[in-house]
A and B are shown apart, each in its own frame.
Chain A
Amino acid sequence: MKTDIAIIGGGAAGLSAALSAYDQNLNILVIEREKTLGGILNQCIHNGFGLHVFKEELTGPEYASRFIQKFHEQNIQFKLHTTVLDIKKNQDFELSISSLESGMETIHAKAVILSSGCYERTRGSIQIPGERPKGIMPAGSAQRYLNMEGYLVGKRIFILGSGDIGLIMARRMTLEGAKVLGVAEIMPYSNGLTRNIVQCLDDFDIPLYLSHTVTDIRGKDVLEGITIQKVDETFKPIPGTEIQFEVDTLLLSIGLVPDISLFESLNIEKSAITKSAIVNQFYETNIEGLFVCGNALHVHDLVDWVTEESEKAGRCAKNYILHGASEHRMEVSVKPGKHIRYIVPQKIDFSRKDAPVELSFRTTKKMESGIFYVYQNGVLIKSKKAKYIAPAEMEHLLIKPEDFISNDPIELILEEVKS
C-alpha cells in the first residue's frame, strides 16, 4: 500500500497532525494500535483539557471526540488495532505493520509523522530498593484499569512522584473508596501542575512529602508496606527520617519517556535530555521526511500544547510533500542556557526563514517571576516576562523572522526577578 504521509499513533498528536496535514491532493494514513482513536485521552476521564485550544474545560474523551469527529468528516484513512513493527528508509519509508484482522502488510510512505506518545518510567528505571511483591505499578496503568476496565488495583495507596498522573489518580482512587496515604516527591518542588496539587491533594487532605523518596518495599507476594525517607540536596536519604506506611499499592508517577522504539532501525540524531529526536523548527529530524511531534518528541504538561505542536508538524509534513525538501539545510543550534533544561526545536534551519519559530522549553528552577532572554551573536534579540515559572510547566516563546540578526546559533536564558 502507498500513501503520502503515514502517521503513527492516533491520539491527540496524531489526530491533530492528520487534520492539519489534510489536503485534497494528499493521501494520509493514520495507524493506531488500539481499537479506537483518541489514545491516552480515552482513559483521562477527569476534566481540565482544552482550556487553551477551546477556551473551555473538557474531559479527555470529550477533547479527543472533537478531533475524531473532524477527522471522520475529512474522510482521512486510518487503520485501528494495528501495530507498526518497524520503519525502514530506502527511497520511501517502508513501514511494516501487523494486525489480527489483516496480518502483515508493508506501507510505502513519502513522509512519516511519529506521534506514538510516551510510556511511564518504571520501578526498575529508578531502582527502588526492597522486595518485589505485586502491588507496585505505574499510575497510568492503574488509571487504565480503573477507568477503562472498572477495577481498583488496591485499597490503601501510596504514590511516589508528584507527576500529574499520580496526582489525578490520588483523587480518582479516593473518590472510588480507596485510602490514599500520601504522595512523596524527591524534588523540593512538585512535578505536577499547581492546579492538580490544589484540586487533587489539598482538597482531599492528602499529604505531599517534598524532598522524600521510597527507600524500602516490604512484602513477599503482596505489598505490605513501604518506608519513605527525607533526602538531602544530593538526593541521598537522611538516616533517622524514616516514615513507614502500611499499604497494598504503590503507584509510580515518576516521569514519562517518549516512546521511540521505532527509531531502532533508523539512524536518528537524539537528545540525551528529551530522550527523543533532535528536530528543527519544522519538527523534522535529521532524516528527511521524518517528523516527530507530541509526547513522542518531548513530554508535555498540557494536551493543548500537544495539539498546537502537532498541527504545526502536520503542516510541515504537508509542505514537504507539496513543495519538496529544503535544498540545503542551514541548521544551527538553539542552546539552553542558564536555568533552561531543554528547548524544542533543538535546531533552526535558516534556509527557510519565512515563518516564526516557536520555542517550547522547560526550566530548571521554580520562581515567582522571571524574564526569558534570547541572544544571537551576543545580542539580545527577544525577551519575555513570565510569572510562576516551574520546571513542571512548559514555557513558550515566539521568535519572528525579522527578530533574527544573522544565521548564527541562538541561546535562551532565564533570569530570576526578585520582588
Chain B
Amino acid sequence: MYDYIIIGAGIIGTTIARELSKYQVNILVLEKENDIANQQTTANSAIIHSGHDPKPGTLKARLCVRGNALYHTLEKELSIPLLKTGAFVVAHNPDEETLLHALEERAKINGVPETMILTGDKARQIEPNLTKHATMVLSLPTTMVTYPWEVAIAALENAIKNGAHFRKNSEVVKIQKNEDKFILTLKSGDTLETKHIISAAGIFSDEVAHMIEEHVSYQIQPRKGEYYVLDRKAVQLFSHVLYPLPTEKGKGVLIVPQVHGNILLGPTSTLVDTKEIASTTQVGMAQIKEDLKRLAETIPYELIIRSFAGVRASSSYDDFFIQESKEVKGFYHVAGIDSPGLTAAPAIAEYLVHEVIQIKNKPKEYFNPIRQKQKAFYSLSVDDRKRLIESDPRYGNIICKCEKITEAEIVSAIQGPTGVDTIKGIKKRARAGGGLCQGGYCESLVLKIIARETGKPLNSINYYAENTPILVQETKVKK
C-alpha cells in the first residue's frame, strides 16, 4: 500500500515526487511510456519564463514567478543546466509600444523583478541581430533557459534517492475507490493500492480523471506546436530569448538560445483533434519563417538540424487546475498545465503538497536534496579531462564525435537510477546523437554499448518505445 501514487513522470509528476519525498510517505511514480519526460516535457521551448504574461491573480501568474525563483535552488541542488539569458519582448510601432507598457505593468503586478523598457537602438546594441524594425523592447532579465528533460530526470533521480519508487511501461487503465483506498489496474493486469492519487498525466489527465469521476470539470484541448533547431554553429547569433507581443493564442513564435549552444525556433500554435499525432508540417515551417521576420534580421535556416512537434495540454479551465477531486476524496488533479508549466513545475509541487494536500506527515530526517552529476567531458579543461580518464579509461573513448560524448557517459546513462536501454533515452541523458550528424555515425556504437551493458541481443535494442528495434532481421543465419 502506497501513500501516494503519482500518475505521469513528466516535469510535473517528477517534481511533485521530489517534493513529497521530503516527507515520511511511501511514493510510487507511474509512467505509461518507457521513459521519463516523454510528451510535453520532451517538446517545449525550455524557457524559464519571468512571469510577465499570465493574467494577474491567477495560479499561473503566482506559480510562474515563484517557479522562476525556485530554479536557482534546483540548479544548485540537482545540477541542472540554467542559462541566464534574459528576454526581450519586441514592439514595432506606437500601438505595440502602448501594449508593451501595459505588459510591463502586468509583469510588475505579477511580481516580476528588474523589468525595464529599452529603445530599439539600445536593445540592438545588446542583441545586434534583433530586427531593425524593433522600436522598443521590454527587457525581462530573470528569463532563463534550462534543459527540460534533464530537470525531470534529475528530480526523479533525487526522489528515488530519497525513497520514492518508479515504474515505467505502466499505463493505468482502471481506478476504483474502495473505502479509504484506491485500487489501480495497470495495462499489464497488475493492481496497486494507494491512499492518494495525484494525476499529473498531462494531455491524458482528463482521461485519467474519467476513470474515477462522473463529471470531470475540465476538458483537455490539445494544442500542437512545431519547433526547429539550429546547430550550435549559430550560438553567437542570439543571447536573449526574443518574444513577440503575446496574443490570445499564446506567446507566439520565439527565438530561444539553448543550454548546449543550439537556437530553438518556434512554436506554432494550432488546436488539434488528436493528442498523440505530433507532426511537423510545411505550413508550420513557413509560418515560423514568416513570424520570425518580425524578430530577427537574419536567421541561418540552412543550419537546421532537427524539427519536432509537441502537444500542449491546454484545458477548457482558464488556469492551472490543481485541486482535490470534489467527487472523490484523496484524488488530486494537476491538470491543464500548459505554458508556463515548465517554469511553474517546482512551485506547482510546493503548492500542491503544502496548500492543496496540506501534508501532515513528518519530514524525513535525512532528506538529501543533492543530485550530483558528472559535468560533461566536452565541457571540461584538459587537466580535468585527463583526471577523469585516469579514474575511468572509458572517458577517453569518444563515441559521439559531433558532441564529444564518451563511452563512460553513455554507460552511466544506462546504469543511472532512471537507467535506460534505448537509443533516444541515451540521447536524452548523455546527448549522444544530438549534434550535426544526428547519430548517423554513433548510433551503431551506442547500440552495441547498450547491448553489451544490458546483456541483450543487438536486435532487441529499441529506438525508443517498446517494439521499435533498429535492427529487424539478422542476415546470413540459418532460419
A-side residues, CB < 8 A to B, are 33, 81, 83, 85, 96, 98-104, 119-120, 122-125, 127, 129-134, 138, 140-141, 144-146, 148-155, 176-177, 215-217, 220-222, 237, 248, 259, 261
Partner of B468, one of A98, A120, A222: A222
Partner of B444, one of A85, A125, A149, A217: A149
Q: Closest CB of chain B to A34's CB: distance in Å?
A: 10
Inter-chain CA distance A163–B459, complex, in Å, is 28
Contact B393 A100 (CB under 8 A): yes
Inter-chain CA distance A101–B395, complex, in Å, is 10
Chain B residues near A220: list those with CB within 8 A.
276-277, 465
Inter-chain CA distance A141–B468, complex, in Å, is 17
Contact A104 B396 (CB under 8 A): yes
**Can you sample 11 A-B contacts with CB below 8 Å?**
A99-B397, A100-B396, A103-B386, A124-B307, A129-B285, A134-B463, A150-B474, A150-B476, A152-B472, A153-B470, A177-B475
* B467 contacts partner chain A, Cβ-Cβ < 8 Å: yes
Partner of A131, one of B277, B386, B401, B474: B277
Contact B475 A146 (CB under 8 A): yes
Contact B468 A134 (CB under 8 A): yes
Encoded as 1 (CB less than 8 Å from any A CB) or 0, chain B from 158 to 201 comes to: 00000000000000000000000000000000000000000000
Q: Closest CB of chain B to A159's CB: distance in Å?
A: 16
Residues 281-305 of B at the A interface (beta carbon under 8 Å):
281-282, 284-285, 304-305
Inter-chain CA distance A133–B285, complex, in Å, is 19
Besides A98-B398, A130-B280, 6 more A-B contacts (Cβ < 8 Å) are A85-B404, A101-B396, A124-B305, A124-B307, A125-B305, A155-B472
Given contacts A85-B404, A138-B440, A221-B464, contact A131 B398 (CB under 8 A): no
Chain B residues near A140: list those with CB within 8 A.
440
Q: Tell me the nearest residue of chain B to A33, going by C-beta.
A: B401
Q: Closest CB of chain B to A55's CB: distance in Å?
A: 32
Chain A residues near B228: list those with CB within 8 A.
127
Contact A154 B472 (CB under 8 A): yes
Chain A residues near B390: list those with CB within 8 A.
103
Contact A124 B281 (CB under 8 A): no
Partner of B474, one of A141, A151, A222, A261: A151
* B412 contacts partner chain A, Cβ-Cβ < 8 Å: no
Q: Closest CB of chain B to A130's CB: distance in Å?
A: 5
Inter-chain CA distance A138–B433, complex, in Å, is 13
Chain B residues near A261: list those with CB within 8 A.
401-402, 436
Q: Closest CB of chain B to A378's CB: distance in Å?
A: 34
Contact A122 B475 (CB under 8 A): no
Inter-chain CA distance A122–B436, complex, in Å, is 9
Contact A141 B282 (CB under 8 A): no
Q: Closest CB of chain B to A255's CB: distance in Å?
A: 12
Partner of B279, one of A85, A129, A138, A149: A129
* B389 contacts partner chain A, Cβ-Cβ < 8 Å: yes
Size of the chain B interface, CB-CB below 8 angstroms: 54
Given contacts A83-B401, A85-B398, A104-B386, contact A151 B438 (CB under 8 A): no
Inter-chain CA distance A144–B468, complex, in Å, is 19
Q: Closest CB of chain B to A172's CB: distance in Å?
A: 10
Inter-chain CA distance A259–B440, complex, in Å, is 12
Inter-chain CA distance A160–B443, complex, in Å, is 20
* B473 contacts partner chain A, Cβ-Cβ < 8 Å: yes
Q: Tell me the nearest residue of chain B to A151, going by C-beta.
A: B471
Chain A residues near B474: list those with CB within 8 A.
150-152
- For A81, A103, A152, the residue with the greatest tally of chain B CB atoms inside 10 Å of its CB is A103
Inter-chain CA distance A320–B18, complex, in Å, is 62
- For B398, B464, B466, the residue with the greatest tally of chain A CB atoms inside 10 Å of its CB is B398
Q: Closest CB of chain A to B171's CB: distance in Å?
A: 14
Partner of A132, one of B305, B308, B436, B466: B308
Inter-chain CA distance A137–B276, complex, in Å, is 22
Given contacts A124-B305, A125-B305, A221-B464, contact A83 B438 (CB under 8 A): no
Contact B229 A145 (CB under 8 A): no
Contact B437 A119 (CB under 8 A): yes
Contact B475 A176 (CB under 8 A): yes
Contact B468 A155 (CB under 8 A): no
Inter-chain CA distance A163–B245, complex, in Å, is 45
Q: Tell me the nearest residue of chain A to B306, going by C-beta.
A: A124
Contact B305 A127 (CB under 8 A): no
Q: Tell me the nearest residue of chain A to B408, going by C-beta.
A: A100
Contact B472 A248 (CB under 8 A): yes
Q: Closest CB of chain B to A184's CB: distance in Å?
A: 16
Q: Closest CB of chain A to B390's CB: distance in Å?
A: 7
Question: Which A-B residue pairs are the 10 nearest by beta carbons?
Answer: A134-B463, A151-B471, A124-B306, A100-B397, A83-B398, A221-B465, A103-B389, A119-B437, A122-B438, A134-B468
Contact A155 B467 (CB under 8 A): no
Chain B residues near A215: list those with CB within 8 A.
282
* B385 contacts partner chain A, Cβ-Cβ < 8 Å: yes
Contact A130 B279 (CB under 8 A): yes
* B317 contacts partner chain A, Cβ-Cβ < 8 Å: no
Contact A124 B467 (CB under 8 A): no
Partner of B467, one of A101, A146, A217, A221: A221
Inter-chain CA distance A85–B278, complex, in Å, is 37
Inter-chain CA distance A220–B468, complex, in Å, is 11
Residues 409-467 of B at the A interface (beta carbon under 8 Å):
436-438, 440-441, 443-444, 458-459, 462-467
Chain A residues near B278: list those with CB within 8 A.
131-132
Chain A residues near B472: list those with CB within 8 A.
151-155, 248
Inter-chain CA distance A98–B476, complex, in Å, is 35
Contact A119 B470 (CB under 8 A): no
Q: Closest CB of chain A to B230's CB: distance in Å?
A: 10
Inter-chain CA distance A96–B386, complex, in Å, is 11
Chain A residues near B441: list those with CB within 8 A.
119
Contact B281 A129 (CB under 8 A): yes
